[in-house]
Chain A
Amino acid sequence: MSILVDKKTRLLVQGITGREGFFHATQMMEYGTQIVAGVTPGKGGEWVLDGKIPVFDTVVGAAETTGANCSVIFVPARFAADAILEAADGGIPLIVCITEGVPVQDMMRARSYINQHGARLVGPNCPGVLTPGACKVGIIPGQIAIPGSIGVVSRSGTLTYEVLYALQRKGLGVSTCVGIGGDPINGTSFMDVLAMFEDDPHTDQVVLIGEIGGTDEERAAEFIADHMTKPVAAFVAGVTAPADKRMGHAGAIVEGGSGLAADKIAALKSAGVRVAEHPDLIPEVLA
């Protein structure tokens, strides 16, 4: 089956009347995701998506009325931290933030706060979570993945699509795909998702897609060596990235010595992970 989201997910869309929020809410609904409410401050009382989805002014109002248990955030970067805090305060247990460009200090404060509230945040700057055939929360194109037993976890957006597409072309299905986002401070780490896949009876093996910057892949390697019984395959982007250059993602900064792709690949390999040389080759290194 899946982790994080499934057919029982009751989704709230924060920023549903915005350009991005509206477009992707439509796509998610067409995929079969159960959207129960939208939130846009000042537009409470309106109905959107062919008059099927009620819009609320606040997350608390939406959650109390509709029983939403997951929220996806499409609000502009300067309001994103506030939206995350509002969702956590409104009792939403799973918060997925798609927005990119959120100030890093906003994220440190938000992260500290939601930890105290026991909510889980995925993202920001991520493509979201997709359980093929059941539920899509975010912007991962639905048509590039089929249901199956491979868990996918990634720091990237379009690179994840590349891998999903490579799997699909070989007829390989996915249990859940989780985009954890490319920012330096995010809500959910590789380790968190690996632990969920390890416990999920419907996931047989895992594909991890990393990139330069930080030490998340190294920590994941330690976790895999110590706690994972399921096989893991990986690809790490940025072998050719020069040290000390910023490659778009705030997270993709090589920080003196650590953070290099070569070190990450070595750590993963020593944990028994089979690392593909390029994304198209992922299906060939699967168990």
Chain B
Amino acid sequence: MKLHEYQAKQVFSQYGIAIPRGRVASTASEAKSIAQELGGRVVVKSQVLVGGRGKAGGIRLANSPSEAEEVATQILAMQVKGLPVRKVLVDEAATIVEEIYLGVTNDRGARSPVMIASSEGGIEIEEVARNMPERLFRITIDPLLGLREYQARYLAASIELRRELWREFVGIAQGLYTAYTESDATLAEINPLVITGDGRLIALDAKMVVDDNALFRHTELAEMRDFDEEAPPEREARKYGLSYVKLDGNIGCMVNGAGLAMATMDVIKLFGGEPANFLDIGGGAGADKVAAALGIILSDSNVRAVLFNIFGGITRCDEVARGILMALREVSTDVPMVVRLTGTNEAEGQRILAEADMLTAGSLSEAAQTAVSLANERQSA
């Protein structure tokens, strides 16, 4: 789960990291009154969960409260990379002398956290990695020992930070690492961390991604979820414990298991079709979950055919067959469907489908070919 900048800043400030004074607003007049409170120049920043807000015109300076209102009006009316802006953060504008990058994330290869620092802040770190890899410094952190002071000092020295700022930098690095571990984050990033005119280090931007699997022990973070940022079918899927990603094709897929779901999409493509979605119903899904999943697939008006691929292990084929029929009673549709069921309780599942005159397939290839030709017939009809 991604946090908005203003939310990540709140978290970071709890760990002793200095952030600019400011607050979030959802209307232009609120933005104006925040600018009035702050006094002086402010920066108005769109709060959307994508990168590249600055380039898209979603971050702008304002010299007065009335200008802040004007700028906020414009930003609140715009979309950043297709996402509508619903909130803006109004921060006091800082005088920037230098911009640094500091972040901590999971290093899959090392199976440990990694902290990354660079003297080249303010631009995307991927860009630095591509164009100036010699300006990027990484340290692997032992998850049992945590970030040690010498490691943070090594980063400070590597990015050639002025010595009088080392102590402050080490404090920020430790704060960021603690925020990352205590929030079960998969990414905690300050870009840029700026050195201000009066020689302080301030987090001008903040990014944090929290591990969905750990939200059970972070109710305060879970409550920060922005439901507006989630498309309705994705939201509906999450409610039922389904994993759904909408794609651009016309063949809806329902599969148990993420790997098999991806393989099913690949096979559809191999036979000349285009998958409309990724949908993993998970292990042990019962009839009600299958019914919910079918509803979500059919809510996509592009869908011309549906392919079910179920390999029963924990999941029982008869349960899935009942779920399909149950769903078809609730959702009236004429979209053609093909079902491939194998594994636990297969015979019973097949019998249930046969009684209902459902179209079945014996293998994944056969099912995919059938789905592709069904979809093509529909598309041209």
Can you name the residue of chain A whose Cβ is closest to the Cβ of B279? Answer: A248
Counting CB contacts under 8 A, is B80 at the interface?
Answer: no
Q: Is the CB–CB distance between A240 and B216 below 8 Å?
A: no
Counting CB contacts under 8 A, is A40 at the interface?
Answer: no
Chain B residues with CB under 8 Å of A209's CB are: 259
Chain A residues with CB under 8 Å of B284's CB are: 20
Given the interface pairs A156-B258, A248-B261, A280-B363, the reply to whether A108 lies near B112 with Cβ below 8 Å is: yes
CA distance A215 to B107 in the complex (A): 11
Q: Is the CB–CB distance between A239 and B260 below 8 Å?
A: no
Chain B residues with CB under 8 Å of A7's CB are: none
Counting CB contacts under 8 A, is B132 at the interface?
Answer: no
CA distance A185 to B106 in the complex (A): 9
> CB within 8 Å of A: which of B258-275?
258-263, 265-270, 275
**CB-CB contacts of A250-276 with B at 8 A, as 1s and 0s?**
111000100000000000000000000
Q: Is the CB–CB distance between B144 and A112 below 8 Å?
A: yes
**CB-CB contacts of B299-325 with A at 8 A, as 1s and 0s?**
000000000000111100000000000
B127 to chain A, nearest CB (A): 11
Partner of B262, one of A105, A144, A185, A240: A240
A126 to chain B, nearest CB (A): 11
Given the interface pairs A113-B144, A237-B263, A238-B262, the reply to whether A158 lies near B256 with Cβ below 8 Å is: yes
Counting CB contacts under 8 A, is B239 at the interface?
Answer: no
Given the interface pairs A109-B143, A158-B313, the reply to whether A278 lies near B257 with Cβ below 8 Å is: no
Counting CB contacts under 8 A, is B181 at the interface?
Answer: yes
Counting CB contacts under 8 A, is B82 at the interface?
Answer: no
Can you name the residue of chain A whose Cβ is closest to the Cβ of B313? Answer: A141
CA distance A15 to B112 in the complex (A): 28
Q: Is the CB–CB distance between B364 and A280 below 8 Å?
A: yes
Chain B residues with CB under 8 Å of A250's CB are: 211, 213
Can you name the residue of chain A whose Cβ is closest to the Cβ of B267? Answer: A278
Can you name the residue of chain A whose Cβ is closest to the Cβ of B144? Answer: A112
CA distance A278 to B369 in the complex (A): 13
Counting CB contacts under 8 A, is A243 at the interface?
Answer: no
Given the interface pairs A78-B216, A104-B186, A105-B214, the reply to whether A185 lies near B259 with Cβ below 8 Å is: no
Q: Is the CB–CB distance between B111 and A108 below 8 Å?
A: yes
Interface size class of A (residues with CB under 8 A): 35 or more
Interface size class of B (residues with CB under 8 A): 35 or more
CA distance A219 to B111 in the complex (A): 14
Q: Is the CB–CB distance between A214 and B259 below 8 Å?
A: no
CA distance A277 to B312 in the complex (A): 23
CA distance A100 to B212 in the complex (A): 12
Chain A residues with CB under 8 Å of B142's CB are: 112
Counting CB contacts under 8 A, is A148 at the interface?
Answer: no
**CB-CB contacts of B236-260 with A at 8 A, as 1s and 0s?**
0000000101010000000111111
A239 to chain B, nearest CB (A): 5
Contact segment of A54-62, A159-167, A221-229: A159-167
Q: Is the CB–CB distance between A108 and B106 below 8 Å?
A: yes
Counting CB contacts under 8 A, is B344 at the interface?
Answer: yes
Chain A residues with CB under 8 Å of B99's CB are: none
Given the interface pairs A139-B313, A161-B343, A212-B262, the reply to whether A156 lies near B257 with Cβ below 8 Å is: yes
Chain B residues with CB under 8 Å of A238's CB are: 262, 266
Interface residues, chain B, CB within 8 Å of chain A?
106, 108-109, 111-113, 126, 142-144, 181, 184, 186, 211, 213-214, 216-217, 243, 245, 247, 255-263, 265-270, 275, 278, 280, 283-284, 311-314, 342-344, 363-365
A-B contact pairs, 12 of them (CB 8 A): A20-B284, A103-B217, A156-B258, A158-B259, A162-B260, A184-B108, A185-B111, A212-B262, A249-B258, A249-B259, A252-B259, A280-B363
Give the top 3 A-B pairs by smallest Cβ distance, nearest first: A156-B259, A248-B258, A158-B257
